[in-house]
A and B are shown apart, each in its own frame.
Chain A
């Protein structure tokens, strides 16, 4: 009739489905918040959760209710000194209007409804924006690959890992252990029987002989019944997964910060760099990032200055490439580092410089790099694009794209990935 049930292990996270529904409904606001967060965060901090505020009116569920006005009578407890007929000023701000405890009186006010997006959910939205295919998402979001190693034996596992010799050895030991007492007893009884059966046969002890024979028979049956192989004998090869050790990489972010690069273009460039960074974290244990910004001169800067400082003036792209090469030679010998370059620009360059850029890349930089990606954030093709296009045709390690919206960034990486796959 009565029962106490332990449900602690059953059905956790029943509300996950409802939570997903909630996120789904507010995906626009969440996307906005993620966009803001991406703009505000450092590249390295991208893989974190985020608090998302949603205006309360957007999540309200309307029901019919009374508005202020009309005649209302309310009963309150805790009368101090009122008597019938007292007149009181209306309290400001609705205090004392509660009473019936209806919605709106909960004291929550009009604060935004804030909730925390987990790291996984955040990345999901971020990838959604970039229109990443699923396969790529999983490779990006996952931790590095694992390799399995043998690590002794365990008592459970899958049949294909069964270790027959070990299992049989265990079985023999068990059979010996379980049968030893019975076997000792059997030997004793057999010796006794032999003594009794030895002539001269004493007819008066026939009964005793029969009893002995019966006992011996029972012991033999008992010994026979000890199972040949028991589930507890089974031993499996145990395998443990260990992460594959990874090497180190350096990522060069090159960006044109001349007057023509406005905030929207910089944001586009930032997403491009973030994606490259995430891609690299998937492959390498340690990643250095070098930020080089340039207009007519190039300069190594920290991340904040890279994205936020504004400069004006003309553009000489080669200055950045020269600086990049210098830094590689000084700090990142290509024997110990995997070097990746990413360059974002609006394609505007001093017209005599573009040919020099191509030469620098082809002769000095690309031989040192694993990969160099150029992204142009405007549609218009200028001489830099044409020079680079010639380079892209002959070089495997060089990719270039135009991306005027964020969802166009990904194709650059598709090439990168397909190359990785081919390399393997």
Chain B
């Protein structure tokens, strides 16, 4: 990484004439706009993967939507469902399509929709190709969990492999397996180990070896032939398997499920890898969207100051920008939780303000960044946090007042809801902590881990749900367990344990005989 941090923006090159701003874009204009946006982004030291801008039609945008934004993906009915729903809503005018989709790949692919006007294309280029792109390249989660250069290759491999399996084993068998894997997708992430990087060729070559080796390991675990007596003693001590609870259910199943065929293990692995690729995105929604929004706003405004953009073009993208960062208050018909664009944009803007014009309150709360250089501070904030820690670190009292934030405690045992904190001196810290927890994936998703396996008896698998704040599991648990049982091949238990370690509810599902 030869990125050099820039302390302050490089000098501007004022434009002699404004760029033409007709409402219809042309390739010529796209090149011109891209060029000025690129050079301005460079002035601020935005470090990005090379950009690849692709012009696509609305239909293609819907295709991209349906396959979770990826240009290639394996076939599955759920993507078809997504496509049908999107297509229907779009045709009826119930929803507009997103202006852009950007793919965390190297080169970074941004889709520009044909229908966009020139102003929107400029906005999308600044937002996706420089905002998101630099976030993908810089943020520690993405650097640790995803490999931008190999994701497209990997998906090509996955698509081919799964198509091959469908040919050999039938579409139904593959579909059932994928359904089950998708149900556990959120539990297919290895939170603490960094994944290795492989290219397409290596991945193919290793798949074959892996099948053979994995099966051998499983056979060893489940062998039923008697062992030599001296081993018995050692074995008794290690009756517990796994030795420690496992959080990555899909990984555990891939490696240890007794009945899976080698090809099935490989498919479990593919789903797991894809889940891992999307894991950082789920954890950095506010940061990622906020960063991209902050930069399109800043870049386009800078271009205007430098004399590149016309007033009409500014008004057009600003209108769309204001729509995006609108935060409806609670009770508003459009209210659907906190808008990540609004919060993220406000936070980065606020950090910049704290650096440039700190108030006494800011000096009190943020002594280390108040009055510092904003570019470096923002860069640091983008690189080293996820939503949870970012909010915990940077949400300022001023913003809490601006958003008029308040927390509500909903306790099953209490007859009424209680307002536990509002945007006042006594509430700032409580609010900030509550807000930070709200973005913690660990508390948003139930904590379910592999607890034990009955190696000598009925081979059943025990999962354990550790309750957080006494929150129970939803009704879907039983359905998901059926999927686990299908993968495991033997009965599966799920125990829900409260904070005292007492089991409050349990489920048992035996695999259906197909």
Contacts and interface: CB of A to CB of B under 8 A. Distances in A.
B54 A88 contact: no
A102 B445 CA distance: 10
Nearest to B163: A17
A86 interface: yes
B60 A66 contact: no
Nearest to B435: A75
A80 to B, nearest CB: 8
Interface in A99-157: 99-102, 105-107, 113-116
Given A75-B435, A84-B420, A64 B330 contact: no
B5 interface: no
Interface string B462-489: 0000011111111111011001000000
Interface in B278-304: none
Contact of A73 (B83, B408, B474): B408
Contacts of A15: 62-63, 66-67, 79-80, 83
A18 B330 contact: no
A98 interface: yes
Contacts of B416: 87-90
Contacts of A86: 418-419
Given A18-B66, A62-B476, A25 B471 contact: no
Given A64-B480, A66-B472, A4 B30 contact: yes
B146 interface: no
A102 B473 CA distance: 14
A100 B444 contact: yes
Nearest to B432: A75
A87 B34 CA distance: 54
A64 B88 CA distance: 28
A301 B327 CA distance: 63
B375 interface: no
B475 to A, nearest CB: 6
B78 interface: yes
Contacts of B411: 70-72
Nearest to A105: B336
A17 B162 CA distance: 13
Contacts of A102: 444
Contact of B59 (A13, A73, A79): A13
A25 B338 CA distance: 36
B409 interface: yes
B14 interface: no
Nearest to A65: B474
A90 B83 contact: no
Contacts of B338: 75-77, 99
Contacts of A73: 407-410, 420, 434, 437-438, 469
Contacts of B328: 78
B412 A69 contact: yes
Interface string B46-78: 000011111111011011001100000001111
Interface string A14-58: 110111111111000000000000000000000000000000000
A256 B424 CA distance: 83
A111 to B, nearest CB: 12
Most chain B beta-carbon neighbours within 10 Å: one of A15, A82, A113: A15
B452 to A, nearest CB: 19
A99 B421 CA distance: 16
A22 B80 contact: yes
Nearest to B411: A71
B258 interface: no
A98 B80 contact: no
B38 interface: yes
A63 B410 contact: no
A384 B124 CA distance: 76
A3 B34 CA distance: 10
A69 B414 CA distance: 11
A85 B444 CA distance: 25
A184 B468 CA distance: 98
Given A12-B57, A64-B476, A84-B427, A21 B63 contact: no
Interface stretch (B135-143, B179-187, B234-242, B353-361): B179-187
A240 interface: no
Interface in B18-65: 27, 30-31, 34, 38, 50-57, 59-60, 62-63
A11 interface: yes
B446 interface: yes
B455 interface: no
B186 A63 contact: yes
A7 interface: yes
A331 interface: no
B475 A14 contact: no
B501 interface: no
A129 B44 CA distance: 65
Given A14-B63, A77-B338, A71 B88 contact: no
Contacts of B479: 62
B424 A84 contact: yes
Contact of A75 (B34, B186, B406): B406
A97 interface: yes
B380 to A, nearest CB: 25
Contact of B77 (A4, A25, A100): A25
Given A7-B56, A116-B88, A70 B472 contact: yes
Contacts of A218: none
Nearest to A106: B336
A231 interface: no
Contacts of A77: 327, 329-330, 338, 403-405
Given A4-B31, A69-B471, A75-B407, A21 B337 contact: no
B419 A85 contact: yes
Contact of A12 (B52, B59, B431): B59
A75 B438 contact: yes
Nearest to B55: A6
Contacts of B84: 19, 22, 115
A8 interface: yes
A12 B60 CA distance: 6
A66 B471 contact: yes
B59 A24 contact: no
Nearest to A15: B83
A1 B107 CA distance: 9
A102 to B, nearest CB: 7
Given A2-B34, A6-B55, A76-B408, A21 B80 contact: yes
Given A2-B53, A20-B80, A64-B445, 12 more contacts: A1-B51, A3-B51, A8-B60, A15-B62, A15-B83, A21-B79, A62-B480, A74-B407, A74-B438, A100-B444, A105-B336, A115-B85
14 contacts: A4-B34, A5-B53, A12-B57, A18-B75, A22-B77, A22-B84, A66-B471, A67-B472, A69-B412, A73-B408, A76-B407, A83-B422, A84-B426, A90-B417
Interface of B: 27, 30-31, 34, 38, 50-57, 59-60, 62-63, 66-67, 75-81, 83-85, 88, 114, 171, 175, 179, 182-183, 185-187, 327-332, 335-338, 403-413, 416-424, 426-427, 431, 434-435, 437-438, 444-446, 448, 467-477, 479-480, 483
